[in-house]
Amino acid sequence: MASIGVQLAKVVVKKLLGRLPTFPHLGSNTMGKDDVRIVKQWQKNRARWFNRETVDRFGSEFAAWNGSAYGYAFMGGRVALSACISALGLGPGDEVIVPGYTCIVVPNAFKNAGIDVVYADIELDTFGLSAQRAAEKITAKTKAILIHHLYGLVCRDYEALLALAREYRLMVIEDCAQAAGAVYKGKKVGNRGDVAFYSSEQSKCFTTSQGGVATTNNEEIAARLKKYYLDAPFPPEERVYKLLTTLRYNYYAYVHRGRWFLKDWLGYRYGGNILVSTTAAEVAGRQPVDQGCKMPAPLAAVGLNQLAKLDRCNEARRANAHRWDRWCRENNYNPPLILPGSEPVYLRYPVMVEPENKSNPGWLEEKENIRHGLWFQTNLHPAPSALTGCPGADSAAAKCINLPTLGL
């Protein structure tokens, strides 16, 4: 490893040559100084990393905050989804309907359980599953349907999809990875299907760097989720160390005022100890690194602290979304649909723009002092597009950008 002086010089030279953006990166990360303090305390206390008590408490407190009866914390939203799949008893020979505009890790979780994934197109008002398109895909083998609430919006066809599931006796999994706290008719999303999962990955509504929670209101499903959770191992100690390093890094790289410099600097310093949430192997269809693992105690401790701040973060996002409402009006773009009766959390603010603007990273730098987000550039983000028959999703992949709602 190069000396600190050499590393520092490299960062400075790169900045001066303009090869790295000096522009502040505006993510959606919600790490605070208080969270970093918690991480530091736990880093000194390895003996307690694999104590289940804090993890149990985080699962239960998340469920209570969410208005759900049961909650269990895992190493990712995708891992929580695998727990849901297992708890619903889905397996080989079953088909599940999934929106054709999602993260690759979602279909992977089904495929890795031997389930056939059938994609149905999305609508372009909230980028949720189209009830009409989903209805066309139901066969005798269809056992479940996955409804997602993207960008923190409540999906347009929420009621129609639930009704469709009731009519055909399909189980409903709600993907709330981007929508923790979004409300529909007085109840938070995730409480109308059979089971739901949430994510605390670094770019989501709240963060534990990586992590997720599965919730349900059904006692039998809860018993099976709980068994899955109790049987689940913790990630290895070395992995937990890296997750904690990543949490600290995320604060300095995405939130701290010095992030324009610290991101690159700490990138050199921490090197291989900074984890990415989706590996190349996963993009190619393989299991997550932490498949089947529950959350270790230090992440759950950060999760508890994050949970205490989540309502405030969501309020800030809602307030900042007004800026983008105005921006849409002034620039002749359509704001996203706010489903009547819903209160979105605006994890990001999605807008359909010209494809050439989506693909120009500097488009909004000068005028708006931000960089737009790209979820998703393909229908199965971030895997190269492999879907046909979902023209709405293709259109969103080409045109939908998302604007930051924190740190403005």
Ligand X SMILES: *Cc1c(COP(=O)(O)O)cnc(C)c1O
Among the residue ranges 76-84, 113-121, 292-300, 332-340, the one whose residues contact ligand X (CB under 6 A): 76-84
Candidate list 27, 59, 71, 77; residue touching ligand X; CB under 6 A: 77
d(CA 205, CA 154): 14
Considering only the stretches 8-16, 99-107, 323-331, 352-360, report the one whose residues sit in contact with ligand X under the rule CB under 6 A.
Answer: 99-107
With tokens 């880093």, the residue in question is 43
Interface with ligand X, residue 344, by CB under 6 A: no
How many angstroms separate the CA atoms of 307 and 65, rounded?
8
By C-beta, is 229 or 265 nearer to ligand X? 229
Select the residue interacting with ligand X from 29, 30, 102, 217 (CB under 6 A): 102
Provide the minimum distance between the beta carbon of 382 and ligand X in the complex, in angstroms, as a whole number: 11
| 3-class secondary-structure state, position 11 | helix
Residue type, 177: A
Q: Which residues contact 241 (CB under 8 A, 6 or more apart)?
A: 43, 273
With CB under 6 A as the contact rule, the residue among 76, 298, 336, 373 that binds ligand X is 76
Q: Which of residues 194-253 bind ligand X (CB under 6 A)?
A: 199, 201, 212
Which of 94, 175, 194, 290: binder of ligand X (CB under 6 A)? 175
CB of residue 76 vs ligand X: minimum separation in angstroms? 3
Amino acid (one-letter) located at 41: Q
* Whole-Å CA distances, 168 to 133, 158, 163, 202, 329: 15, 16, 9, 37, 41
Q: Of these, 215, 217, 246, 277, which contacts ligand X (CB under 6 A)?
A: 277
Return the residues of window 177-196 that contact ligand X according to CB under 6 A: 177-178
**Which letter does DSSP use for residue 377 in this model?**
S
By CB under 6 A, is residue 103 in contact with ligand X? yes
In the three-class reduction of DSSP (H, G, I as helix; E, B as strand; rest coil), residue 74 is classed as strand
Residue 396 beta carbon to ligand X: minimum distance, rounded to whole angstroms: 13
Interface with ligand X (CB under 6 A), residue from 98, 106, 153, 253: 106
Residues in the chain, total: 408
Give the total of residues touching ligand X (CB under 6 A). 16
- Alpha helix positions (H), 70-155: 77-88, 105-111, 131-136
Inter-helix orientation angle 237-250/33-43, to 10°: 160
Tell me how many degrees the CA angle 181-30-262 measures, rounded to the nearest 5.
Answer: 165
The structure tokens 């960062």 sit at: 11
Q: How far is CA 304 from CA 123, 212, 217, in A?
A: 35, 13, 21
Using the minimum distance from each CB to ligand X, give the nearer residue, 240 or 262: 240
Among 39, 62, 70, 78, binds ligand X (CB under 6 A): 78
How many helices (H) and strands (E) the chain has is answered by 15, 14
x/- track of binding to ligand X for residues 374-403 (CB under 6 A): ------------------------------
Nearer to ligand X, 55 or 103 (CB): 103
Q: Which residues bind ligand X (CB under 6 A)?
A: 76-78, 102-103, 105-106, 148, 150, 175, 177-178, 199, 201, 212, 277
